[in-house]
Amino acid sequence: MDASDLRIVSLSQLAGTQNWRLSLAHDRAEQLLIWITRGQGRLLLDGQRRGVGTHNAIVVPARHLFALDLGRQGVGQAVIVPEGCQILFPQLPRLLRIREVSAMSELTVLMEAATREQSTARPLTGQAMEAHGALISVWLQRQMALEEHAPQKRNAAGRLTAAYCRRISEHFRAPMTMADHAAALSVTPTHLTRVCRASTGRTAADLLTERVLYEARLLLTSTRVPAQDIARHLGFGSAAYFTRFMQQHTRMTPTLLRRAAQPVAEAA
């Protein structure tokens, strides 16, 4: 399979055995469909915190801030549609609570068929996965068209939180404070913090910090880029400030974080 082909992984594979890869607020270059088959937890998506559970389908478009915490008991699968793939899932972040047994069974059958195809080394596997992905996309569109899955109207507070989450995804690498983002949204930092806490359970500063922390941990554990270059890339004024930031939020220095992740990376 080519790197641009659709693929299906378990939630544990998506997290890479490291819970922060899902539980910290972040965005991704690829589109995701997450299908939860067991467990309960919390989802941050489109500037809202919501409970999730078994037979919930989560649509996460590329570059949309989200976080998912299902705990150790959570089980599910994720359909990953990378950049360059011809398949296009609906570009609206959505949480679908599937109640019809026939709809649950249909998606399960589609994902199982795609998983079997993915595990083979037959010719034209990429084209076959694209066809499976198209059917999954049709399933999604049909579900999103149902009245029971119509999105609720967002009030001003909800729209503001969603706009702030979009700003984080676009500008988290820039040396901008939460106050800078508030000014760009024409509100005070106090109001933005209050609204974000009400909508997401996190303050505005928490959301920004989590996105920066996610990127820092990802770069430290999956690349060999020097820590000082990562610090500069993420808008830190100095490598020392970056080290203090990482120690505050992980209790480890960048060097120790990288060293601790090496056995995981080698095993993968």
Q: What are the tens digits of pLDDT across the range 100-151?
A: 999 999 999 999 999 999 998 889 998 999 999 999 999 999 999 999 998 8
Mean pLDDT in residue range 50-71: 95
- pLDDT, tens digit (0-9, with 9 covering 90-100), for 190-235: 999 999 999 999 999 999 999 999 999 999 999 999 999 999 999 9
Q: Is the pLDDT of residue 267 over 60?
A: no
Residues 6+ apart with CB under 8 A from 45: 58, 60, 64, 65, 66, 93, 95
CA angle 217, 221, 222 (to 5 degrees): 115
Residue 71 has pLDDT above 90, yes or no: no
pLDDT confidence of residue 151: 86
User: pLDDT value at position 265?
Assistant: 47
Which residue type does 27 have?
D
The per-residue DSSP string of 97-142 comes to: E---HHHHHHHHHHHHHHHHHHT---TTHHHHHHHHHHHHHHHHHH
As a whole number of angstroms, the distance between CA 15 and CA 70 comes to 11
| Res 268 pLDDT > 60 | no
pLDDT at 263: 59
CB 234 within 8 A of CB 173: yes
Q: What is the pLDDT of residue 2?
A: 67
CB distance 65 to 215 below 8 Å: no
Give me the pLDDT at residue 207, please: 96
Average pLDDT of span 233-243: 95
Is pLDDT larger for residue 74 or for residue 230? 230
CA distance 222 to 45: 25
Angle at 240 between CA 244 and CA 219, to 5 degrees: 75
pLDDT in tens, 8-39: 999 999 988 788 999 999 999 999 999 999 99
Q: In the predicted model, what is the mean pLDDT of the chain?
A: 92
Indicate if the pLDDT at residue 3 is higher than 80.
no
Angle at 174 between CA 200 and CA 222, to 5 degrees: 80
Mean pLDDT computed over 60-67 = 96
- Are 44 and 226 in contact by the 8 Å Cβ rule? The answer is no
Q: Cβ contacts of residue 72 below 8 Å, gap of 6+?
A: none
Residue type, 92: L
- Strands 56-60 and 94-97 come out as antiparallel
